[in-house]
Amino acid sequence: MKVVVTGGAGYIGSHTVVELLERGHDVHVVDSFCNSERSVIARIAGLVGKPVPFSELDILDSSALTDCLIEVRPDAVIHFAALKSVGESISMPLEYYRANVEGTISLLSAMDAAGCSRLVFSSTATIYGEPEECPVPETASLRPPTPYGRTKLASEWVIRDCVDAPDSKLIAVILRYFNPVGAHPSGLIGELPRGLPNNLAPYITQTAAGLRSHVRVFGADYPTPDGTGVRDFIHVVDLAVAHVAALQVLEGGDGKSLTLNLGTGRPYSVLEMIQAFSDVVGHPVPYEVVERRTGDIVESWADPSRAEALLDWRATRSLREICEDAWRWQRNLSCRALED
Ligand SMILES: NC(=O)c1ccc[n+]([C@@H]2O[C@H](COP(=O)([O-])OP(=O)(O)OC[C@H]3O[C@@H](n4cnc5c(N)ncnc54)[C@H](O)[C@@H]3O)[C@@H](O)[C@H]2O)c1
């Protein structure tokens, strides 16, 4: 299939581009590089041994995006491009609604103009808020606690309304990710957090590498087995492989829209994650328990059974592999920083 990947230079996008190219798909990346480095494209090309065509553009530039899709004529689009910082979305809600909701509208219009009717969309488990039950099924109540989550839910609505419109040819797979972590086992691509990381895993690896003094654990008095928050950490390569499977489902093409959880279904606490990293790096990663952080949820992990059945897919990589791959990436990053 010929696939346009918006945000293909980003964390999850870059891993998905690798999996697509390795399985013989024809890929064209669209990225503004507002949260990624241009060098990622060359690193992907080196990894798969093929050139990676790309267009540097902002998906909010509707006419440039439309021209690009008309020229590339993709069979499908995987849409990652978005702003993703929960904290930033609280202080800059308009930027987030514009980038994420308007960006999705701009993409759907360009796809329509280019006659492309297959879409895979990146959504998030954040839209469940504090779940009533775990594991969380796709039918759980949707209560996104932040502007970021609400922009993702609003984007889901826009996509479903376009799918359901009379005479619409659009079909879509909406994927709700739990907690993507890890990096490519080659150590060549991974997460590139700018400034203070929002997520636990890069915080831990930066601390293990001596770039931060300790990990802050926000609350150890939650009603969980060890008192810390509990999450569903999924290896980014498992996530990437699920996108390839979603394309195959779209190629089959009878469903109109599908919404699927992507997680492992296995809960791990924050302290268990720190311990797993400590085992891999060979020394204890220092941490300090601090006050609970407003808006953090207590526990959330996926019921991935629908995705497993419909995509014929399963997250197979262990917590140890997650830590080993993330740590390899962090060491390579530290070496690059020293060389710069
Ligand atoms: N990483 C997570 O924890 C997580 C969890 C759930 C859902 N998601 C969703 O998955 C998607 C990918 O996340 P990620 O972690 O890879 O993020 P990322 O920031 O690493 O990648 C996003 C990419 O999109 C590009 N981009 C952003 N706005 C753009 C625009 N207007 N035009 C063109 N390019 C643009 C950025 O330059 C970047 O390369 C996002 O939609 C995010 O909301 C991420």
pLDDT digits (tens, 9 = 90+) for 272-323: 999 999 999 999 999 999 999 887 899 999 999 999 999 999 999 999 999 9
Mean per-residue pLDDT, 90-111: 98
Q: Assign 337 a pLDDT band (cuts: 50, 70, 90).
A: low
Range of the domain at 306: 2-183+235-265+302-317
177 is catalytic: no
Q: Is the CB of 149 under 6 A from ligand 1?
A: no
Mean per-residue pLDDT, 96-100: 98
Q: Assign 335 a pLDDT band (cuts: 50, 70, 90).
A: confident
> For residues 208 and 250, what is the distance between their CA atoms, to the nearest angstrom?
41
pLDDT value of position 223:
96
Residue 190 resides in a domain: no
| pLDDT higher than threshold 70 for residue 338 | no
pLDDT digits (tens, 9 = 90+) for 199-215: 899 999 999 999 999 99
Q: What is the mean pLDDT of the chain?
A: 95
Q: Is the CB of 8 under 6 A from ligand 1?
A: no
pLDDT digits (tens, 9 = 90+) for 55-95: 999 999 999 999 999 999 999 999 999 999 998 999 999 99
Of all residues in the chain, what percent carry a pLDDT higher than 70? 98
> For residues 233 and 177, what is the distance between their CA atoms, to the nearest angstrom?
10
Question: Which tokens belong to 294?
Answer: 């407003």
Q: Is the CB of 180 under 6 A from ligand 1?
A: yes
Residue 216 resides in a domain: no
Q: Ligand 1 centre and the CA of 11: distance in Å?
A: 7
| pLDDT higher than threshold 90 for residue 222 | yes
Q: Ligand 1 centre and the CA of 106: distance in Å?
A: 16
CATH number at residue 141: 3.40.50.720
**Long-range Cβ contacts of 85-88 (<8 Å, 24+ apart):** 85/148, 85/198, 86/126, 86/146, 86/148, 86/149, 86/198, 86/295, 87/198, 88/148
Atom of ligand 1 nearest to the CA of 33: 37
Residue 111 resides in a domain: yes
Residue 289 resides in a domain: no
Q: Assign 160 a pLDDT band (cuts: 50, 70, 90).
A: very high
pLDDT value of position 339:
56
Q: How many domains does the structure of the chain reveal? A: 1
From the list 128, 148, 222, 287, the catalytic residue is 148
pLDDT value of position 286:
97
Residue 280 resides in a domain: no
pLDDT value of position 163:
97
Residue 35 resides in a domain: yes
pLDDT digits (tens, 9 = 90+) for 255-264: 689 999 999 9
| Amino acid symbol at 193 | P
> For residues 254 and 281, what is the distance between their CA atoms, to the nearest angstrom?
47
333/41: higher pLDDT: 41
The answer to whether 139 and 87 are in contact (CB under 8 A) is no
Q: Assign 340 a pLDDT band (cuts: 50, 70, 90).
A: very low
pLDDT digits (tens, 9 = 90+) for 16-60: 999 999 999 999 999 999 999 999 999 999 999 999 999 999 999
Residue 34 resides in a domain: yes
Q: Ligand 1 centre and the CA of 10: distance in Å?
A: 6
Q: Ligand 1 centre and the CA of 227: distance in Å?
A: 31
Residue 80 resides in a domain: yes
The answer to whether 291 and 219 are in contact (CB under 8 A) is yes
Q: Is the CB of 155 under 6 A from ligand 1?
A: no
**Which residue in 120, 138, 118 sits closest to 128, CA to CA?**
138
pLDDT digits (tens, 9 = 90+) for 235-274: 999 999 999 999 999 988 766 899 999 999 999 999 999 9
Q: Is the CB of 58 under 6 A from ligand 1?
A: yes
| pLDDT higher than threshold 70 for residue 231 | yes
